[in-house]
Structures are given as structure tokens and as C-alpha cells.
Amino acid sequence: MAVLPFKVGELAACSAGERFDRAAVMGAWTAAFNASGNPALTLPVLVNGRPVGVQLVGKRGEDGRLLALGRMVLEVLGTPLVTLPR
């Protein structure tokens, strides 16, 4: 995302239009890769105690390489890996 996440309740007093406008910037960098077909992933990173998603993008067809890079980044940051059951 292009901005830090909102604090809980931060948008509660906003009109629907204002909430949309403020939230729209959060997806500004994701739509291009949805359309291009490039593999992309988002990693959870804490900045000043707040979660921030760091997006990594790879070349088409190199999904495995991107996933390996993501694993390495999480290991360097000390972020625990989550394994989902198959």
C-alpha cells in the first residue's frame, strides 16, 4: 500500500465519499500488477508497531523465485513464517 494503515475508528466520522477517497490510495500500487500478469506478493512488516505491507513483484513465470525471495526477506526480518494446511 502507498500509505500507512488507518488507526481503528479513524474514518468513522467521514462521509462515505471521503472514506472512499482516503482509502483509494491504499490500492494505488496493486492494480497494475493484477492487470499485467506479473506475480506479486505482500509481506507483513512492522513500522513503529504498525503493520505495513511491502510488495514484491517478479517477472512473469517466476513465481517460485519470487516466493523464495519473500521467504528470505521474512527470515532476515525475523518475521515468523505461516504455513497453511494443504
* pLDDT value at residue 47: 76
- 46 vs 51: CA distance, rounded Å: 5
31-81: pLDDT as tens digits = 788 788 899 998 888 777 777 778 899 999 999 999 999 999 888 888 777
pLDDT over 90 (residue 14): yes
* pLDDT value at residue 27: 73
- Residue boundaries of the structural domains of the chain: 16-77
Band the pLDDT of 26: cuts 50, 70, 90.
confident
Closest CA to 54 of 84, 74, 83, 75: 74
* pLDDT value at residue 2: 62
